[in-house]
Structure 1
Amino acid sequence: MSIIERLSANPLLLTDLDGTVLYDGSIPKELKKLSVKLKKVGIHFSFATGRSKVPALKYARGLDIDIPIICSGGAIITDTETGTDIYRHEINNEAVNQIIKNLDPAINIAIYCNDEVHVNKRFKWIEDYCQRQKIKLFESNNLSKLNNKIVVLLVGNEEIIETTNKNLKQNHNNLEINKIFSNMCEISSKQGSKRNSAKNLLKLLNLSKEDLFYFGDGSADIDLIKYAKYGFTVKESFASQMIPEAKSIEIPKKLGFINYINSII
């Protein structure tokens, strides 16, 4: 009997993508091999990513994942075969509109609605991202009128984003707010966090938290790492600094996730 079989009769291996299993945006061949191996032995494997649905589905199909994935930071759970949303948590319009109204004008705003991105003015990062991921980008004079807001992304210089992130967390505890990079802050609904979506995924698969392995490196991963029966950070990551008591895997460049999973299956 393998180590993982002794830990759970029906485990779910759930991982963050960027900074946890990916280091340059591409899928390592070793990860593809591991995904095939996990499917052969009947172990559930999926991911929870901050990436929006369109690019997330590309990764799911590249890894031949056949169970639902969590994307948009937890705001969406989608079926990998059909692309149909199983769970979807939009942001409260009133709260978002208040945030937009009071933002520092130096901050660039991008709002993810359905499979589109809307901005009040184009900026290089979002243009490059949408072109690379083949996501439709629209310019709007009035972002507050948009419906179906899934995620709001704020991009600016590091000092302004740090201050904005702290202020938003203090004044909007009904929203999920995470600084995903030093110059970017992401806002979604509280129900659409990675932790809450992982709970819904467990229900879909008729599993419990006792079956959950989760691996992550960022601020948006911390609550889920704490929730999972077997939660892991990535060495030298933000998450490892915040919860040093959690077990850690090596960085993706050293194939930490892949090597650990291979060692227990």
Structure 2
Amino acid sequence: MNYKFAAADMDGTLLNDENEITPYTVEIIQRAVSQGLIFSICTGRPIQGVERYQEQLGIQGPVITYNGAMILDSADGRVLYKQELEADDARLILEAGLSYDTTMCIWSDNKLYGNKLNDRIQEYSKATKITPLLLPSTGQLLAQGITKILWYDEISKIQQIEKELRETAHFHTVTFCTSKPFYLEFFSSKVSKATAIDRIGEIYGFTQVETIAIGDGFNDLSMIRHAALGAAMGNAPDRVKECADYITTRTNNQDGVAEVLEKFIL
């Protein structure tokens, strides 16, 4: 198969546990791109959390952020596509977060807002180097538009909240899932990492049968299932591995992304 596009998740996939891309993986990605591959970072992070890695890769092209809710061109920062949460849904998520007394990290207009400026949101903001702002009035934030909401709490509490929301939530067009055991993310169900790949294909001229997706988390399942070749990292949970066409023998600490590109591109 002649693959033209590959998307790789960041945390637990492209990045090792020190939040770095190894020089070896950078080299393999650059070699694959030099042979015509379009390579895209695909993450739940905002663009601010991607920029230094994109610079390290030294390549240009589409970048998938907010789990597919926003796609940007790394060459000039142009927004190629965006889809925010419906206002009614965003309001329900904010109200539920307050009732659960959880820490909410809210992305609006590429700015980070929080209902609490506590240690959790400060820790979360380190990856993006953005100073979080205290949540203004709900009406003001809804008027700006909300791209993504993330709840950050104890793992046991996040598990319980997710279970309860699966049974009782009355959202209209919302997808929610854990990206890390202590993160519960909410974004429009009109978007996903899989949908983002299709959007990029429309712009760059490739089809689903020419795509590779590499990930390790439950928020990567849509693209792993959708791509012609869905690859799960060796460190992925079993439920993610079960949905993959290929499982790397290496983990994110052992250049697992490079393994996929070496085997199927180079």
TM over 0.5: yes
**Which residue matches 1:20?**
13
| 2-structure distance, mates of 1:228, 1:178 | 20
Q: Would you say the 8 A contact 1:212–1:228 is kept in 2?
A: yes
Q: Structure 1 residue aligned with 2:129, among 124, 134, 140? A: 134
Among all aligned residue pairs of Structure 1 and Structure 2, give the percentage whose two residues are the same amino acid. 19
- TM-score where L is the length of structure 2: 0.90
Q: Whole-Å Cα distance in 2 between the matches of residues 138 and 157 of structure 1?
A: 22
Partners of 1:169 and 1:202 in 2: CA distance: 32
The whole-number CA distance in structure 1 between the counterparts of 2:257 and 2:126 is 30
User: Partner residue of 2:115?
Assistant: 120
Structure 2 unaligned regions, length at least 5: none
What secondary structure does 2:43 align onto? coil
**What one-letter code is carried by the residue in structure 1 that aligns with 2:125?**
C
Q: In structure 2, which of residues 239, 258, 265 is the aligned counterpart of residue 241 of structure 1?
A: 239
Which amino acid counterpart does residue 263 of structure 2 have in structure 1?
A: S
Structure 1 unaligned residues grouped into runs of 5+? 1-6
- Do the aligned partners of 1:57 and 1:83 also contact (CA within 8 Å) in 2? no
Q: Find the counterpart in structure 2 of residue 3 from structure 1.
A: none
Rounded to whole Å, the distance in 1 between the matches of 2:243 and 2:183 is 27
Query: Would the aligned equivalents of 2:234 and 2:256 in 1 still touch at CA under 8 Å?
Result: no
Is the alpha carbon distance of 1:40 and 1:141 closer, same or farther for their aligned partners in structure 2, counting shifts above 3 Å? closer
- Corresponding residue for residue 85 of structure 1: 79
SS in structure 1 opposite 2:12? coil
CA displacement 1:132-161 (0-9 Å, x = unmatched): 522242112533530221110101122221
1:263 — aligned with what? 263
Kindly tell me: are residues 128 and 102 of structure 1, through their superposed partners in 2, closer, same or farther at Cα, counting changes over 3 Å?
closer
Per the TM alignment, residue 230 of structure 1 is displaced from its structure 2 partner at its CA by 0.6
Residue pair 1:118, 1:143 contacting (<8 A) in 2 also: no
Q: What is the count of residue pairs matched by the alignment?
A: 257
Amino acid at match of 1:148: G
Aligned to 2:183: 184
Secondary structure in 2 aligned to 1:18?
Answer: helix
TM-score when scaled to structure 1? 0.90
Counterpart-to-counterpart distance in 2, 1:50 and 1:234: 17
* Bigger mean CA offset, 106-115 vs 129-138: 129-138
Q: Distance in 1 between matches of 2:191 and 2:59?
A: 21
Residue 146 of structure 2: which of 125, 128, 149 is its match?
A: 149
CA distance in 2 between counterparts of 1:193 and 1:245 reads 16
On the 8 A contact 2:66/2:148 being kept in 1, the answer is: yes
Quick one: distance in 2 between partners of 1:126 and 1:64? Answer: 30
Q: In the aligned structure 2, how far is the partner of 1:128 from the partner of 1:102?
A: 22
Partner of 1:13, secondary structure, is: strand
Equivalent-residue separation in structure 2 for 1:38 and 1:85 (angstroms): 25
The verdict on how the C-alpha distance between 1:16 and 1:132 changes in structure 2, with shifts beyond 3 A counting, is closer
Deviation at 1:114, TM superposition (A): 1.9
Query: Does the 8 Å CA contact 2:9/2:215 hold for their aligned counterparts?
Result: yes
State the shift of 1:167 in Å: 3.1
Question: What is the CA deviation profile of residues 22-75 of structure 1, one whole-angstrom value per residue up to 9, with x for unaligned ones?
Answer: 122112101221122122212211121111111212222221221111011111
Structure 1: how far apart are the matches of 2:155 and 2:63?
A: 31
The answer to whether the Cα contact below 8 Å between 2:112 and 2:133 also exists between their aligned partners in 1 is yes
The equivalences for 1:156-167 within 5 A come to: 156-167=153-164
Residue 192 of structure 1 aligns to a residue whose secondary structure is coil
The answer to whether the Cα contact below 8 Å between 2:216 and 2:240 also exists between their aligned partners in 1 is no
